[in-house]
Protein backbone atom coordinates (compact mmCIF):
# COMPACT_ATOMS: atom_id res chain seq x y z
CA UNK A 1 0.00 0.00 0.00
CA UNK A 2 1.25 3.46 -0.86
CA UNK A 3 1.53 5.74 2.13
CA UNK A 4 2.36 9.38 2.50
CA UNK A 5 4.95 11.07 4.66
CA UNK A 6 4.16 13.37 7.56
CA UNK A 7 3.90 16.36 5.22
CA UNK A 8 2.68 14.77 1.97
CA UNK A 9 -1.11 14.37 1.82
CA UNK A 10 -2.49 11.01 0.77
CA UNK A 11 -5.77 10.18 -0.88
CA UNK A 12 -8.75 9.91 1.42
CA UNK A 13 -9.51 6.64 -0.33
CA UNK A 14 -6.23 5.25 0.99
CA UNK A 15 -7.16 6.44 4.47
CA UNK A 16 -10.54 4.71 4.19
CA UNK A 17 -8.88 1.54 2.99
CA UNK A 18 -6.39 1.61 5.87
CA UNK A 19 -9.22 2.14 8.34
CA UNK A 20 -11.23 -0.75 6.92
CA UNK A 21 -8.23 -3.12 6.82
CA UNK A 22 -6.88 -2.17 10.28
CA UNK A 23 -3.62 -0.99 8.74
CA UNK A 24 -0.88 0.10 11.14
CA UNK A 25 -0.25 3.12 8.90
CA UNK A 26 -3.75 4.49 9.45
CA UNK A 27 -2.85 7.22 11.97
CA UNK A 28 0.18 8.32 9.98
CA UNK A 29 -1.93 8.67 6.84
CA UNK A 30 -4.78 10.34 8.72
CA UNK A 31 -2.50 13.10 10.00
CA UNK A 32 -1.66 14.13 6.44
CA UNK A 33 -5.32 14.87 5.61
CA UNK A 34 -6.61 18.42 6.16
CA UNK A 35 -10.09 18.17 4.60
CA UNK A 36 -12.36 19.11 7.51
CA UNK A 37 -15.54 17.85 5.84
CA UNK A 38 -14.04 14.43 5.19
CA UNK A 39 -12.60 14.25 8.73
CA UNK A 40 -16.01 15.09 10.24
CA UNK A 41 -17.55 12.18 8.36
CA UNK A 42 -14.69 9.88 9.34
CA UNK A 43 -15.20 10.85 12.99
CA UNK A 44 -18.85 9.78 12.81
CA UNK A 45 -17.84 6.37 11.47
CA UNK A 46 -14.84 6.02 13.77
CA UNK A 47 -16.63 6.75 17.04
CA UNK A 48 -19.30 4.12 16.32
CA UNK A 49 -16.91 1.42 15.13
CA UNK A 50 -17.16 -1.52 17.60
CA UNK A 51 -13.77 -3.01 16.74
CA UNK A 52 -11.22 -2.88 19.61
CA UNK A 53 -8.63 -1.84 17.04
CA UNK A 54 -10.65 1.27 16.18
CA UNK A 55 -10.82 2.29 19.84
CA UNK A 56 -7.11 1.72 20.28
CA UNK A 57 -6.43 3.99 17.31
CA UNK A 58 -8.19 6.88 19.07
CA UNK A 59 -5.84 6.50 22.03
CA UNK A 60 -2.87 6.36 19.68
CA UNK A 61 -4.07 9.49 17.88
CA UNK A 62 -4.28 11.35 21.18
CA UNK A 63 -0.68 10.52 22.09
CA UNK A 64 0.41 12.74 19.20
CA UNK A 65 0.26 16.56 19.15
CA UNK A 66 -3.07 18.05 18.10
CA UNK A 67 -1.36 20.23 15.51
CA UNK A 68 -2.81 19.14 12.15
CA UNK A 69 -4.86 21.80 10.30
CA UNK A 70 -8.44 20.85 9.62
CA UNK A 71 -8.62 18.25 12.40
CA UNK A 72 -10.79 20.29 14.77
CA UNK A 73 -14.08 18.56 13.82
CA UNK A 74 -12.46 15.16 14.24
CA UNK A 75 -11.20 15.99 17.72
CA UNK A 76 -14.43 17.63 18.90
CA UNK A 77 -16.73 14.85 17.67
CA UNK A 78 -14.62 12.08 19.17
CA UNK A 79 -14.43 13.95 22.48
CA UNK A 80 -18.17 14.65 22.65
CA UNK A 81 -18.93 11.02 21.85
CA UNK A 82 -16.63 9.86 24.68
CA UNK A 83 -18.42 12.26 27.05
CA UNK A 84 -21.90 11.15 26.03
CA UNK A 85 -21.05 7.47 26.40
CA UNK A 86 -19.30 7.96 29.75
CA UNK A 87 -16.11 6.42 28.41
CA UNK A 88 -13.99 7.46 31.37
CA UNK A 89 -10.72 6.10 30.03
CA UNK A 90 -11.06 7.88 26.70
CA UNK A 91 -12.11 11.16 28.32
CA UNK A 92 -9.00 10.84 30.49
CA UNK A 93 -6.88 10.56 27.37
CA UNK A 94 -8.53 13.71 25.96
CA UNK A 95 -7.94 15.47 29.29
CA UNK A 96 -4.19 14.90 29.05
CA UNK A 97 -4.12 15.82 25.35
CA UNK A 98 -6.02 19.07 25.97
CA UNK A 99 -3.64 20.00 28.80
CA UNK A 100 -0.83 19.91 26.25
CA UNK A 101 -2.55 22.45 23.98
CA UNK A 102 -1.50 25.51 25.97
CA UNK A 103 2.16 26.23 26.56
CA UNK A 104 2.95 29.72 27.75
CA UNK A 105 6.32 31.28 27.11
CA UNK A 106 8.64 33.38 29.24
CA UNK A 107 9.53 36.94 28.42
CA UNK A 108 11.31 39.76 30.18
CA UNK A 109 9.48 43.05 30.72
CA UNK A 110 11.37 46.26 31.38
CA UNK A 111 9.97 48.96 33.65
CA UNK A 112 10.99 52.55 34.32
CA UNK A 113 9.77 54.90 37.03
CA UNK A 114 10.21 58.42 35.72
CA UNK A 115 9.70 59.93 39.16
CA UNK A 116 12.46 57.98 40.88
CA UNK A 117 14.39 57.53 37.62
CA UNK A 118 14.88 53.88 38.41
CA UNK A 119 14.52 50.97 36.00
CA UNK A 120 14.07 47.26 36.58
CA UNK A 121 13.11 44.14 34.76
CA UNK A 122 10.97 41.15 35.62
CA UNK A 123 10.14 37.85 34.00
CA UNK A 124 6.56 36.89 33.18
CA UNK A 125 4.60 34.26 31.33
CA UNK A 126 2.53 35.12 28.27
CA UNK A 127 0.41 33.31 25.71
CA UNK A 128 1.34 33.90 22.07
CA UNK A 129 -1.43 35.50 20.05
CA UNK A 130 -3.41 33.44 17.61
CA UNK A 131 -2.56 33.69 13.96
CA UNK A 132 -5.55 33.56 11.63
CA UNK A 133 -4.75 31.50 8.55
CA UNK A 134 -6.62 31.64 5.24
CA UNK A 135 -9.82 29.61 5.37
CA UNK A 136 -9.43 28.21 1.84
CA UNK A 137 -12.96 29.09 0.73
CA UNK A 138 -14.64 28.35 4.05
CA UNK A 139 -16.52 30.87 6.11
CA UNK A 140 -14.78 29.92 9.36
CA UNK A 141 -11.05 30.78 9.54
CA UNK A 142 -8.50 28.31 10.82
CA UNK A 143 -6.53 29.13 13.96
CA UNK A 144 -3.02 27.85 14.22
CA UNK A 145 -0.18 29.16 16.31
CA UNK A 146 2.98 27.53 17.62
CA UNK A 147 2.09 24.23 15.96
CA UNK A 148 -1.23 23.79 17.84
CA UNK A 149 -4.83 23.25 16.79
CA UNK A 150 -7.70 25.58 17.87
CA UNK A 151 -7.54 29.16 19.12
CA UNK A 152 -6.24 29.79 22.62
CA UNK A 153 -9.76 30.52 23.83
CA UNK A 154 -11.00 27.18 22.49
CA UNK A 155 -8.02 25.36 23.95
CA UNK A 156 -8.76 26.81 27.37
CA UNK A 157 -12.42 25.84 27.05
CA UNK A 158 -11.61 22.24 26.07
CA UNK A 159 -9.27 21.62 28.98
CA UNK A 160 -11.72 23.14 31.47
CA UNK A 161 -14.52 21.01 30.05
CA UNK A 162 -12.46 17.83 30.39
CA UNK A 163 -11.57 18.74 33.98
CA UNK A 164 -15.25 19.47 34.70
CA UNK A 165 -16.15 15.93 33.59
CA UNK A 166 -14.07 14.40 36.37
CA UNK A 167 -15.10 17.00 38.93
CA UNK A 168 -18.73 16.02 38.37
CA UNK A 169 -17.72 12.38 38.72
CA UNK A 170 -16.25 13.16 42.13
CA UNK A 171 -19.67 14.37 43.28
CA UNK A 172 -21.93 11.93 41.44
CA UNK A 173 -19.80 8.77 41.23
CA UNK A 174 -17.31 8.98 44.11
CA UNK A 175 -16.71 5.21 44.05
CA UNK A 176 -15.25 5.44 40.53
CA UNK A 177 -13.44 8.74 40.87
CA UNK A 178 -10.05 7.70 42.29
CA UNK A 179 -9.36 4.78 39.95
CA UNK A 180 -10.58 6.69 36.89
CA UNK A 181 -8.57 9.83 37.59
CA UNK A 182 -5.48 7.77 38.43
CA UNK A 183 -5.67 6.16 34.99
CA UNK A 184 -5.70 9.64 33.43
CA UNK A 185 -2.81 10.86 35.59
CA UNK A 186 -0.68 7.91 34.50
CA UNK A 187 -0.77 9.26 30.92
CA UNK A 188 1.16 12.45 31.69
CA UNK A 189 4.79 12.25 30.59
CA UNK A 190 7.93 13.98 31.80
CA UNK A 191 8.00 16.16 28.69
CA UNK A 192 4.59 17.54 29.69
CA UNK A 193 6.15 19.06 32.83
CA UNK A 194 9.67 19.64 31.57
CA UNK A 195 9.74 23.28 32.70
CA UNK A 196 8.16 25.17 35.54
CA UNK A 197 5.71 27.02 33.33
CA UNK A 198 4.71 23.71 31.75
CA UNK A 199 3.65 22.42 35.16
CA UNK A 200 1.33 25.38 35.67
CA UNK A 201 -0.05 25.07 32.14
CA UNK A 202 -1.45 21.61 32.89
CA UNK A 203 -4.80 22.92 34.09
CA UNK A 204 -6.44 19.57 34.79
CA UNK A 205 -3.38 18.08 36.46
CA UNK A 206 -3.07 21.08 38.78
CA UNK A 207 -6.74 20.92 39.78
CA UNK A 208 -6.76 17.16 40.33
CA UNK A 209 -3.50 16.89 42.27
CA UNK A 210 -2.75 20.34 43.78
CA UNK A 211 -6.06 22.21 43.95
CA UNK A 212 -5.60 23.21 47.59
CA UNK A 213 -1.84 23.66 47.65
CA UNK A 214 -0.94 26.97 49.36
CA UNK A 215 1.78 27.53 46.76
CA UNK A 216 -0.77 28.00 43.95
CA UNK A 217 -3.52 30.43 43.00
CA UNK A 218 -6.32 29.36 40.66
CA UNK A 219 -8.17 31.84 38.47
CA UNK A 220 -10.90 31.19 35.93
CA UNK A 221 -8.45 30.66 33.08
CA UNK A 222 -5.04 29.94 34.53
CA UNK A 223 -2.94 28.66 37.41
CA UNK A 224 -0.15 30.77 38.89
CA UNK A 225 2.20 30.78 41.84
CA UNK A 226 1.08 32.56 44.96
CA UNK A 227 3.06 35.64 45.95
CA UNK A 228 6.37 34.70 47.49
CA UNK A 229 5.95 31.02 46.67
CA UNK A 230 7.89 28.66 44.41
CA UNK A 231 7.24 25.31 42.74
CA UNK A 232 9.59 23.72 45.24
CA UNK A 233 6.87 24.27 47.86
CA UNK A 234 4.31 22.31 45.87
CA UNK A 235 2.70 19.62 48.06
CA UNK A 236 -0.02 17.08 47.39
CA UNK A 237 -3.39 18.71 48.07
CA UNK A 238 -5.89 17.10 45.67
CA UNK A 239 -9.50 17.72 44.89
CA UNK A 240 -11.79 15.34 46.78
CA UNK A 241 -9.04 14.68 49.25
CA UNK A 242 -11.34 12.54 51.38
CA UNK A 243 -11.70 10.11 48.48
CA UNK A 244 -7.93 9.75 48.14
CA UNK A 245 -7.70 9.03 51.88
CA UNK A 246 -10.04 6.04 51.74
CA UNK A 247 -8.29 2.70 52.45
CA UNK A 248 -9.11 1.28 49.02
CA UNK A 249 -7.32 4.22 47.40
CA UNK A 250 -3.94 2.97 48.67
CA UNK A 251 -3.80 0.17 46.07
CA UNK A 252 -4.69 2.67 43.32
CA UNK A 253 -1.95 5.07 44.41
CA UNK A 254 0.56 2.24 44.66
CA UNK A 255 -0.27 1.16 41.13
CA UNK A 256 0.01 4.78 39.99
CA UNK A 257 3.53 5.00 41.44
CA UNK A 258 4.53 2.06 39.25
CA UNK A 259 2.65 3.00 36.08
CA UNK A 260 2.88 6.80 35.94
CA UNK A 261 5.05 8.10 33.12
CA UNK A 262 5.74 11.44 34.81
CA UNK A 263 8.02 11.91 37.80
CA UNK A 264 5.75 14.69 39.10
CA UNK A 265 2.80 12.29 39.29
CA UNK A 266 4.90 9.55 40.89
CA UNK A 267 6.19 11.90 43.58
CA UNK A 268 2.66 13.17 44.21
CA UNK A 269 1.34 9.62 44.63
CA UNK A 270 4.19 8.71 47.00
CA UNK A 271 3.45 11.80 49.09
CA UNK A 272 -0.16 10.74 49.51
CA UNK A 273 0.82 7.17 50.38
CA UNK A 274 3.27 8.25 53.05
CA UNK A 275 0.90 10.80 54.52
CA UNK A 276 -2.46 9.03 54.40
CA UNK A 277 -1.74 5.31 53.97
CA UNK A 278 1.34 4.53 56.07
CA UNK A 279 -0.46 1.68 57.85
CA UNK A 280 -1.52 0.08 54.57
CA UNK A 281 2.02 0.26 53.20
CA UNK A 282 3.17 -2.06 56.00
CA UNK A 283 1.12 -4.90 54.53
CA UNK A 284 1.89 -4.75 50.82
CA UNK A 285 2.76 -8.03 49.14
CA UNK A 286 6.16 -9.16 47.95
CA UNK A 287 4.98 -8.83 44.35
CA UNK A 288 4.00 -5.19 44.91
CA UNK A 289 7.33 -4.49 46.59
CA UNK A 290 9.19 -6.10 43.70
CA UNK A 291 7.43 -3.78 41.24
CA UNK A 292 8.70 -0.80 43.22
CA UNK A 293 12.24 -2.11 43.55
CA UNK A 294 12.45 -2.98 39.86
CA UNK A 295 11.19 0.42 38.67
CA UNK A 296 13.35 2.48 36.33
CA UNK A 297 13.05 5.56 38.58
CA UNK A 298 15.57 5.48 41.42
CA UNK A 299 13.20 7.48 43.66
CA UNK A 300 10.63 4.71 43.36
CA UNK A 301 13.31 2.10 44.10
CA UNK A 302 14.30 3.95 47.26
CA UNK A 303 10.65 4.27 48.23
CA UNK A 304 10.29 0.50 47.96
CA UNK A 305 13.52 -0.11 49.86
CA UNK A 306 12.27 2.06 52.69
CA UNK A 307 9.09 -0.02 52.92
CA UNK A 308 11.02 -3.28 53.19
CA UNK A 309 12.34 -2.44 56.63
CA UNK A 310 8.84 -2.07 58.07
CA UNK A 311 6.84 -4.71 56.21
CA UNK A 312 4.84 -7.28 58.13
CA UNK A 313 4.95 -10.93 57.13
CA UNK A 314 8.52 -10.79 55.83
CA UNK A 315 9.51 -13.86 57.85
CA UNK A 316 7.05 -15.99 55.91
CA UNK A 317 8.42 -15.11 52.48
CA UNK A 318 9.90 -17.97 50.49
CA UNK A 319 13.56 -18.07 49.53
CA UNK A 320 12.51 -17.78 45.89
CA UNK A 321 10.84 -14.45 46.74
CA UNK A 322 13.99 -13.13 48.44
CA UNK A 323 16.17 -14.22 45.52
CA UNK A 324 13.78 -12.45 43.14
CA UNK A 325 14.11 -9.26 45.17
CA UNK A 326 17.89 -9.47 44.83
CA UNK A 327 17.52 -9.10 41.06
CA UNK A 328 16.54 -5.44 41.40
CA UNK A 329 18.76 -2.94 39.58
CA UNK A 330 18.90 -0.38 42.40
CA UNK A 331 22.14 -0.57 44.39
CA UNK A 332 20.52 1.40 47.21
CA UNK A 333 17.65 -1.05 47.36
CA UNK A 334 20.03 -4.00 47.18
CA UNK A 335 21.93 -2.81 50.23
CA UNK A 336 18.67 -2.57 52.19
CA UNK A 337 17.44 -5.95 50.97
CA UNK A 338 20.70 -7.66 51.92
CA UNK A 339 20.71 -6.06 55.34
CA UNK A 340 17.14 -7.19 55.94
CA UNK A 341 17.90 -10.69 54.68
CA UNK A 342 20.86 -11.01 57.03
CA UNK A 343 18.57 -10.13 59.93
CA UNK A 344 15.39 -11.96 58.97
CA UNK A 345 16.46 -15.02 56.95
CA UNK A 346 18.08 -18.11 58.41
CA UNK A 347 21.04 -19.06 56.15
CA UNK A 348 20.21 -22.74 56.58
CA UNK A 349 17.05 -22.17 54.54
CA UNK A 350 19.26 -21.73 51.48
CA UNK A 351 21.00 -24.56 49.72
CA UNK A 352 24.76 -24.54 49.25
CA UNK A 353 24.23 -23.92 45.55
CA UNK A 354 22.08 -20.85 46.27
CA UNK A 355 24.70 -19.42 48.64
CA UNK A 356 27.37 -19.93 46.00
CA UNK A 357 25.15 -18.18 43.45
CA UNK A 358 24.89 -15.16 45.75
CA UNK A 359 28.65 -15.09 46.33
CA UNK A 360 29.21 -15.09 42.56
CA UNK A 361 26.87 -12.11 41.98
CA UNK A 362 28.23 -8.88 40.53
CA UNK A 363 26.61 -6.57 43.10
CA UNK A 364 28.81 -6.12 46.16
CA UNK A 365 26.06 -6.30 48.83
CA UNK A 366 24.77 -9.57 47.40
CA UNK A 367 28.24 -11.10 47.03
CA UNK A 368 29.21 -10.16 50.58
CA UNK A 369 26.00 -11.68 51.93
CA UNK A 370 26.56 -14.90 49.98
CA UNK A 371 30.16 -15.23 51.17
CA UNK A 372 29.22 -14.57 54.80
CA UNK A 373 26.62 -17.33 54.63
CA UNK A 374 29.08 -19.68 52.92
CA UNK A 375 31.52 -19.38 55.77
CA UNK A 376 28.83 -20.76 58.09
CA UNK A 377 28.32 -23.88 55.97
CA UNK A 378 30.12 -27.19 56.37
CA UNK A 379 31.61 -28.78 53.25
CA UNK A 380 31.44 -32.55 53.63
CA UNK A 381 30.83 -34.37 50.37
CA UNK A 382 32.52 -34.57 47.00
CA UNK A 383 29.44 -32.95 45.50
CA UNK A 384 29.87 -30.00 47.88
CA UNK A 385 33.46 -29.59 46.69
CA UNK A 386 32.34 -29.73 43.08
CA UNK A 387 29.91 -26.89 43.75
CA UNK A 388 32.66 -24.84 45.38
CA UNK A 389 34.49 -24.91 42.06
CA UNK A 390 31.83 -22.53 40.72
CA UNK A 391 33.27 -19.80 42.91
CA UNK A 392 35.98 -19.37 40.29
CA UNK A 393 33.31 -17.50 38.28
CA UNK A 394 32.77 -14.88 41.02
CA UNK A 395 32.10 -11.47 39.41
CA UNK A 396 32.44 -9.02 42.30
CA UNK A 397 35.90 -7.47 42.62
CA UNK A 398 35.32 -6.46 46.23
CA UNK A 399 35.08 -10.07 47.46
CA UNK A 400 36.97 -11.88 44.68
CA UNK A 401 40.13 -12.55 46.69
CA UNK A 402 38.18 -13.64 49.77
CA UNK A 403 36.01 -15.99 47.70
CA UNK A 404 39.11 -17.56 46.18
CA UNK A 405 40.81 -18.05 49.53
CA UNK A 406 37.66 -19.57 51.01
CA UNK A 407 37.23 -22.07 48.17
CA UNK A 408 40.89 -23.12 48.05
CA UNK A 409 40.93 -23.74 51.78
CA UNK A 410 38.80 -26.78 50.92
CA UNK A 411 39.75 -27.61 47.35
CA UNK A 412 43.47 -27.07 47.98
CA UNK A 413 43.75 -28.94 51.25
CA UNK A 414 46.38 -31.74 51.28
CA UNK A 415 43.76 -34.48 51.50
CA UNK A 416 41.50 -33.10 48.72
CA UNK A 417 43.95 -31.34 46.39
CA UNK A 418 43.64 -31.87 42.64
CA UNK A 419 45.10 -29.62 39.97
CA UNK A 420 41.83 -29.79 38.02
CA UNK A 421 39.94 -28.26 40.95
CA UNK A 422 42.46 -25.54 41.74
CA UNK A 423 43.56 -24.28 38.32
CA UNK A 424 40.19 -22.61 37.37
CA UNK A 425 40.78 -20.03 40.10
CA UNK A 426 44.06 -19.02 38.43
CA UNK A 427 42.20 -18.73 35.09
CA UNK A 428 39.24 -16.73 36.46
CA UNK A 429 38.01 -13.69 34.53
CA UNK A 430 38.08 -11.80 37.82
CA UNK A 431 41.54 -10.45 38.59
CA UNK A 432 40.82 -10.43 42.32
CA UNK A 433 39.94 -14.12 42.26
CA UNK A 434 43.27 -14.79 40.55
CA UNK A 435 45.05 -12.68 43.17
CA UNK A 436 43.47 -14.70 45.96
CA UNK A 437 44.47 -17.95 44.25
CA UNK A 438 48.09 -16.84 43.98
CA UNK A 439 48.05 -15.91 47.63
CA UNK A 440 47.12 -19.51 48.41
CA UNK A 441 50.08 -20.88 46.38
CA UNK A 442 52.73 -20.80 49.12
CA UNK A 443 55.44 -23.36 49.94
CA UNK A 444 53.03 -24.79 52.51
CA UNK A 445 50.25 -25.38 49.96
CA UNK A 446 49.57 -28.73 48.36
CA UNK A 447 50.09 -27.39 44.86
CA UNK A 448 53.46 -25.74 45.37
CA UNK A 449 55.42 -28.81 44.24
CA UNK A 450 52.90 -30.02 41.66
CA UNK A 451 54.42 -29.76 38.16
CA UNK A 452 51.00 -30.34 36.57
CA UNK A 453 49.61 -27.21 38.18
CA UNK A 454 52.66 -25.14 37.21
CA UNK A 455 52.45 -26.45 33.66
CA UNK A 456 48.88 -25.17 33.46
CA UNK A 457 49.88 -21.84 34.93
CA UNK A 458 52.40 -21.44 32.14
CA UNK A 459 49.56 -21.39 29.61
CA UNK A 460 47.60 -18.64 31.36
CA UNK A 461 46.49 -15.71 29.15
CA UNK A 462 46.68 -13.22 32.04
CA UNK A 463 49.73 -11.02 32.45
CA UNK A 464 49.34 -10.72 36.22
CA UNK A 465 49.73 -14.50 36.59
CA UNK A 466 52.58 -14.64 34.06
CA UNK A 467 54.58 -12.03 35.95
CA UNK A 468 54.15 -13.78 39.28
CA UNK A 469 54.90 -17.12 37.63
CA UNK A 470 58.21 -16.03 36.15
CA UNK A 471 59.31 -14.33 39.35
CA UNK A 472 58.55 -17.45 41.38
CA UNK A 473 60.14 -19.82 38.89
CA UNK A 474 63.31 -17.75 38.80
CA UNK A 475 63.51 -17.90 42.57
CA UNK A 476 62.86 -21.62 42.64
CA UNK A 477 65.40 -22.34 39.91
CA UNK A 478 68.07 -20.63 42.01
CA UNK A 479 67.05 -22.41 45.21
CA UNK A 480 66.07 -25.83 43.89
CA UNK A 481 69.50 -27.54 43.79
CA UNK A 482 69.93 -27.72 47.57
CA UNK A 483 66.35 -28.95 47.91
CA UNK A 484 66.97 -31.59 45.29
CA UNK A 485 69.92 -32.90 47.25
CA UNK A 486 68.12 -32.82 50.55
CA UNK A 487 64.79 -34.27 49.42
CA UNK A 488 66.04 -36.09 46.33
CA UNK A 489 63.24 -34.69 44.16
CA UNK A 490 63.32 -33.48 40.56
CA UNK A 491 62.07 -29.91 41.03
CA UNK A 492 65.28 -28.56 39.43
CA UNK A 493 64.48 -30.32 36.19
CA UNK A 494 60.85 -29.22 35.69
CA UNK A 495 61.40 -25.73 37.09
CA UNK A 496 64.24 -25.15 34.63
CA UNK A 497 62.14 -26.42 31.75
CA UNK A 498 59.18 -24.16 32.53
CA UNK A 499 61.37 -21.11 33.07
CA UNK A 500 63.27 -21.84 29.87
CA UNK A 501 60.07 -22.14 27.87
CA UNK A 502 58.85 -18.72 29.04
CA UNK A 503 62.03 -16.70 28.59
CA UNK A 504 63.41 -18.46 25.52
CA UNK A 505 66.78 -19.38 27.11
CA UNK A 506 69.42 -21.60 25.52
CA UNK A 507 69.10 -24.16 28.31
CA UNK A 508 65.88 -25.59 26.88
CA UNK A 509 67.56 -28.31 24.87
CA UNK A 510 69.59 -29.59 27.79
CA UNK A 511 66.57 -29.27 30.09
CA UNK A 512 64.52 -31.44 27.75
CA UNK A 513 67.24 -34.10 27.81
CA UNK A 514 67.46 -33.87 31.60
CA UNK A 515 63.77 -34.45 32.12
CA UNK A 516 63.80 -37.33 29.64
CA UNK A 517 66.68 -38.90 31.54
CA UNK A 518 64.91 -38.32 34.87
CA UNK A 519 61.78 -40.05 33.57
CA UNK A 520 63.81 -42.99 32.34
CA UNK A 521 65.71 -43.36 35.62
CA UNK A 522 62.76 -42.81 37.95
CA UNK A 523 59.57 -43.94 36.21
CA UNK A 524 57.59 -43.48 39.44
CA UNK A 525 57.93 -39.70 38.88
CA UNK A 526 56.85 -39.93 35.24
CA UNK A 527 53.24 -39.02 35.98
CA UNK A 528 54.43 -35.68 37.42
CA UNK A 529 57.10 -34.87 34.86
CA UNK A 530 55.53 -35.93 31.57
CA UNK A 531 52.94 -33.05 31.63
CA UNK A 532 55.87 -30.66 32.00
CA UNK A 533 57.59 -32.26 29.04
CA UNK A 534 54.39 -31.97 26.97
CA UNK A 535 54.12 -28.22 27.65
CA UNK A 536 57.76 -27.71 26.82
CA UNK A 537 57.57 -29.52 23.48
CA UNK A 538 54.51 -27.50 22.39
CA UNK A 539 56.17 -24.21 23.35
CA UNK A 540 59.60 -24.45 21.71
CA UNK A 541 60.84 -23.98 18.17
CA UNK A 542 60.80 -26.94 15.73
CA UNK A 543 64.52 -27.88 16.15
CA UNK A 544 64.13 -27.99 19.93
CA UNK A 545 60.84 -29.89 19.59
CA UNK A 546 62.63 -32.55 17.54
CA UNK A 547 65.22 -32.84 20.28
CA UNK A 548 62.45 -33.26 22.82
CA UNK A 549 60.80 -35.94 20.72
CA UNK A 550 64.11 -37.72 20.49
CA UNK A 551 64.34 -37.60 24.27
CA UNK A 552 60.85 -39.09 24.50
CA UNK A 553 61.82 -41.97 22.22
CA UNK A 554 64.83 -42.63 24.38
CA UNK A 555 62.70 -42.68 27.51
CA UNK A 556 60.14 -45.05 25.96
CA UNK A 557 62.89 -47.32 24.67
CA UNK A 558 64.25 -47.60 28.19
CA UNK A 559 60.83 -47.85 29.83
CA UNK A 560 58.16 -49.25 27.40
CA UNK A 561 55.49 -48.96 30.10
CA UNK A 562 55.62 -45.15 29.67
CA UNK A 563 54.03 -45.32 26.22
CA UNK A 564 50.46 -45.27 27.58
CA UNK A 565 51.20 -42.33 29.87
CA UNK A 566 52.76 -40.38 27.00
CA UNK A 567 49.70 -41.07 24.87
CA UNK A 568 47.47 -39.38 27.43
CA UNK A 569 49.74 -36.37 27.90
CA UNK A 570 50.50 -35.86 24.20
CA UNK A 571 47.52 -37.29 22.24
CA UNK A 572 48.87 -36.03 18.93
CA UNK A 573 52.02 -38.17 19.35
CA UNK A 574 51.87 -41.58 17.68
CA UNK A 575 54.69 -44.07 18.41
CA UNK A 576 55.14 -46.76 15.74
CA UNK A 577 56.97 -50.04 16.29
CA UNK A 578 60.38 -50.41 14.69
CA UNK A 579 60.02 -51.01 10.95
CA UNK A 580 56.31 -50.11 11.10
CA UNK A 581 54.49 -47.90 8.58
CA UNK A 582 52.04 -45.05 9.14
Per-residue pLDDT tens over the stretch 137-185: 444 444 444 456 888 889 989 999 999 999 999 999 999 999 999 999 9
Chain-centroid distance of CA 238 in Å reads 34
Q: Does 74 reside within a domain?
A: yes
**Residues facing residue 143 across a β-bridge:** 132
Q: Rounded mean pLDDT of 454-459?
A: 81
Q: Is residue 122 part of a domain?
A: no
Q: What is the Cα–Cα distance from 320 to 580, expressed in whole angstroms?
A: 65
Last residue of a domain, one of 278, 305, 328: 278
What angle, rounded to 10 degrees, do the helices at 364-374 and 331-344 form? 20
The secondary element (H helix, E strand) that includes residue 109 is: strand 105-113
Domain containing 521: what range?
A: 473-582
Mean pLDDT of the chain: 84
Instruction: Establish if 23 belongs to a structural domain.
Output: yes
Sequence-distant (≥ 6) Cβ neighbours of residue 121 within 8 angstroms: 108, 109, 110, 111
The residue-averaged pLDDT of 196-202 equals 89
Give domain status of residue 234, yes or no: yes
Q: Which of 218, 222, 221, 219 is nearest to 210 (CA)?
A: 218
pLDDT over 90 percentage in the chain: 50
Per-residue pLDDT for 490 more than 60? no
* Of the residues 230, 250, 278, the one at which a domain ends: 278
User: Do residues 243 and 177 make contact, with C-beta atoms less than 8 angstroms apart?
Assistant: yes
248, 278, 308: which is the final residue of a domain? Answer: 278
The pTM of the whole model exceeds 0.85: no
Mean pLDDT of 508-534: 69
**What's the whole-number mean pLDDT along residues 557-579?**
71
Tens digits of residue pLDDT in 46-78: 999 999 999 999 999 999 999 898 999 999 999
Query: Could you tell me if residue 439 is inside a domain?
Result: no
Mean pLDDT on 328-345:
87
Instruction: Give the model's confidence band at 383: pLDDT under 50 very low, under 70 low, under 90 confident, else very high.
Output: very high
| Mean pLDDT, residues 456-482 taken together | 73
Is 419 within a domain?
Answer: no
Residue 284 lies in a domain: no
Q: At 238, phi and psi to the nearest 5?
A: -80, 165
Is 30 among the domain residues?
yes
Summarised one tens digit per residue, pLDDT across range 292-324 is 988 989 899 889 988 887 888 888 889 999 999
Is residue 336's pLDDT more than 80?
A: yes
pLDDT band at 493 (very low <50, low <70, confident <90, very high): low
321-332 per-position pLDDT tens digit: 999 989 887 787
Instruction: Give the number of domains in the chain.
Output: 2
- DSSP 3-state assignment of 446? coil
pLDDT classification of 4: cutoffs 50, 70, 90: very low
Amino acid sequence: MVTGSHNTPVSTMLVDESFANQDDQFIEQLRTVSNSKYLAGLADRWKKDPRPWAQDQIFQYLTMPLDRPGHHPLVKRLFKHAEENRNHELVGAFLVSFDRLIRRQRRTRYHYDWQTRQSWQEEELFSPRDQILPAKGKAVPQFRREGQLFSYRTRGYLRRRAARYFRRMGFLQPADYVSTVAAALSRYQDQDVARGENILDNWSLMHIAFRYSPALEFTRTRVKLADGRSLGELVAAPQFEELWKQPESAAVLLRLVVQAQSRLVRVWAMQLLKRDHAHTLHSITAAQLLELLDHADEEVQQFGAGLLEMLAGVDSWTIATWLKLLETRSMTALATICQTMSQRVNPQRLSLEQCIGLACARATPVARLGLSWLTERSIKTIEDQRLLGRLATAQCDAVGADVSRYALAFLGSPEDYRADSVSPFFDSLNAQVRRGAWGWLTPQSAGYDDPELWSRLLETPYDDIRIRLVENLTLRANQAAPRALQRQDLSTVWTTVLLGVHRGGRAKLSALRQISQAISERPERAELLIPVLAVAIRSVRPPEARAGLSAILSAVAARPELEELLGRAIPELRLMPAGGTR
